[in-house]
Amino acid sequence: MTIKTIAVALLVALASAVSPAATPAQPNIYVMRHLHTPAGVSDPDLTDEGKKYADAVDVWFRRDPPDIIYVSSTKRAQQTAAPLAARLKLTPKIYDPRDTPGLIASVSAETGTVLIVGHSNTVPDIVEKLGGQRPGDLVHEDFGDIWHVAGPEKTTTRVRLSL
């Protein structure tokens, strides 16, 4: 091999090692619990208040709209994301709320901005399994919080929706 051939090979190897395409993009992930529902009802619809907050979710995400939305197989999770999904012309991906490892595997393969709508008993696990700081346990009245897990450091920020 000539010195020129070796130099070109080294330059190509160096360029591919530092190329942004060589490092997979980290998904920008938001996790939230479904919005307001009555207590003690199996798979309820959102309350009127929950529907108003679902519209607020749509407004809130105008600054960083998701490319992909994951919702559990329940009506309340799907109704929480419905106004946002409709505006963005996205079909949410349905996941089994009993399969957090499967959800994490799917979301980890995504790029761009992802929204996950879960439940009081799944959101803390989801945030933690994504590498974020685990939130405290949620009770029935805990509606309207969104956890943002971002970047290689998995910085976790909690925000509260308001009307």
The domain in which residue 98 lies consists of 24-160
Give the pLDDT score at 4.
Answer: 46
- At 19 the pLDDT is 41
pLDDT digits over 37-79, tens only?
Answer: 999 899 999 999 999 999 999 999 999 999 999 999 999 999 9
Q: Which is nearest to 36 in space by CA: 53, 11, 13, 19?
A: 53
Q: Give the chain's domain count.
A: 1
pTM for the model: 0.84
- Cα dihedral 83/86/92/94 (nearest 10): 60
Specify the CATH number for the domain of residue 102.
3.40.50.1240
Q: What is the pLDDT of residue 8?
A: 39
**What is the structure's pLDDT at 50?**
97
Q: Is residue 6 part of a domain?
A: no
The low-confidence residues of the chain, meaning pLDDT below 50, are: 4-24
